[in-house]
Structure 1
């Protein structure tokens, strides 16, 4: 690691152009001795995994208002946390969030460890997240590399090896520029540069603090980098979702198994998601298929769900799930694909929300 000219230029730029984010301590406040709250740094980093800042802001504000400390979160009900997470996606993060909070609260006295290795031993914290928390919350000189950092390094050094094969080289380049002083500010500075100036399309090279040192700008290749290996086509899976309603408006919902996609989340009973799903209605009823499918894309596949709706008797006993009274049902607590099912079925349901 070294104090390269590029590092100094980037920190100078960050001191004037740092984004105002709810989980961040500004460089001015940090210079005045204000330290970041490790809980807020950790929470934001978990939420930001494969998710944009714009999408995360409102969730972060709700979480920290409801659970202002890691101990508060550790004592939360699983269903409440999963409900607040609904719509943010990648639901294993929410399950690991609770596991991690409970370990920190019960085993570590409510204090996050300061080193990358100790952080990475906690549930749901991998190499990137541990480095980010260690650098941002505790000013450890760790190298933090996300998609923004990879893009900046690829352009700064004109690296044409496609991702993911280029990751080791780009990480080494980033490590060379990571300073021993202010590593937390530096980590956030590179990410801010990638998010606001060195953007994927049409980078604003004319206002970049690293303009004079950028090899890709000199070569005229900045807009082409980083190169990426072709992605494999996503397969399409099919399934059936069953929406049952009683005369009192109650809807049949189930909590999905803890493991697997949407684990621990509320959803509609249904079939497996596969090439040719077997119908699995949760109870005997006159099921009516809606003319439209609920379509959703996950990381590794597309999903198309047939939606079946039925009005059932008050005495109906389902094989899976429980009926939820109208006043206790909030569509916003459903994961996105299940909310899409509800939106399609809504016109066939009795007035309830």
Structure 2
């Protein structure tokens, strides 16, 4: 039996070991091509990367499938009505992403003949594409060498090099270190391998270091301090705001209004709501003067603040109030953001128990 040949220097490198691991253990995802297969559609890569920002793979899969089924190309998405896209996005959260999605699709369709630029620089020039998304699309869809750093990659790199500086200040250093191990070849596979490693092996708690292809190189593992990284600055308490959400019912319909294009949940259909302030606005900004009765409430946590909201409701004789009157039995088709879907559920439960 012939002796086994020694691994090449490239295969012995962290990138080589990681890519060998990825070839065997990669996650099968609907937007991903198999190693060695033709590069995936840039539109699918871009769509998935936008959806995956601060959102889990499990949550994204059904949305990705529905979007591709309804708008199979970037030109189809560019031609879509804003309200339809925002409604289809409802529930994914971070709604500025949906507005940026529309703007980017129209720029690609109108300024690039429906073809995504194939360089990181060209992608960065599109609306709503930050450094991470541009690098991910350049690497995964076009095979460009790009340094792709998301939260999973930050965790892997911070442990690999035992970076003591806390996040978010450490991000430039983490990017520099990620750059130092990013190979020229198979840049897209390497980026996805780093993401998979962080998602499945180098997890925030209980990392499976015995299974990790980078274990021999990991400074944190050598010191038995894996779970201490990445270092994080102390979190500040989120401010709390208060608001009132109005359930105005007439003839089996409920009043909805389109929120202002800019600002929180911009452009989305929603139940009427006044401003969200530090003090209780009570019935200020009610859609009309009426006998409003309390229905319930809750707390909804946004990125930068928490909202304590009260839901109040009333029934009127006709649909004369300004807005969009939506059939209550089809409210699930309105594409309400999570906050307002929860408020509606509170109102409906009270309505059914009355």
The gaps in structure 2 that reach 5 residues or longer are 1-8
Q: Match of 1:280? A: 285
Q: Match of 1:168? A: 172
CA distance in 1, matches of 2:267, 2:188: 34
CA distance in 2, matches of 1:120, 1:100: 11
CA distance in 2, matches of 1:194, 1:305: 36
Q: Match of 1:340? A: 342
Deviation at 1:331, TM superposition (A): 5.6
Deviation at 1:272, TM superposition (A): 0.1
Deviation at 1:294, TM superposition (A): 2.9
Report how many aligned residue pairs link the two structures. Answer: 342
Deviation at 1:143, TM superposition (A): 0.3
Counterpart selection for 1:25 from 23, 33, 36: 33
| 2:264 pairs with 1:261 | yes
Q: Quick check: 293-302 or 6-15, which moved more?
A: 293-302
Alignment check: 8 A CA contact 1:143 1:171 kept: yes
**1:293-322 CA distances to partner (integer Å, 9 max, x unpaired)?**
1320000111011111010111x522x422
Alignment check: 8 A CA contact 1:269 1:321 kept: no
Alignment check: 8 A CA contact 1:141 1:183 kept: yes
CA distance in 2, matches of 1:204, 1:350: 49
* Runs of 4+ off more than 2 Å: 325-332, 347-351
Alignment check: 8 A CA contact 2:290 2:314 kept: yes
1:31-70 equivalence runs, <5 A: 31-32=36-37, 34-70=38-74
Q: Match of 1:252? A: 255
Alignment check: 8 A CA contact 1:283 1:317 kept: no
Q: Quick check: 185-194 or 281-290, which moved more?
A: 281-290
Q: TM-score, normalised by structure 1?
A: 0.93
Q: Match of 2:324? A: 322
**1:156-195 CA distances to partner (integer Å, 9 max, x unpaired)?**
1111211112111111110011111100000000110000
Deviation at 1:289, TM superposition (A): 1.3
Q: Match of 1:242? A: 246
Q: Quick check: 330-339 or 103-112, which moved more?
A: 330-339
**1:189-241 CA distances to partner (integer Å, 9 max, x unpaired)?**
01100000000000000000011111111111111111100111001100011
Deviation at 1:77, TM superposition (A): 1.2
Deviation at 1:80, TM superposition (A): 1.1
The gaps in structure 1 that reach 5 residues or longer are none
Q: Match of 1:141? A: 145
Deviation at 1:277, TM superposition (A): 4.4
CA distance in 2, matches of 1:347, 1:172: 53
Counterpart selection for 2:22 from 14, 36, 40: 14
CA distance in 2, matches of 1:282, 1:149: 47
Counterpart selection for 2:129 from 118, 125, 128: 125
RMSD of aligned residue pairs (Cα, Å):
1.6
Alignment check: 8 A CA contact 1:73 1:101 kept: yes
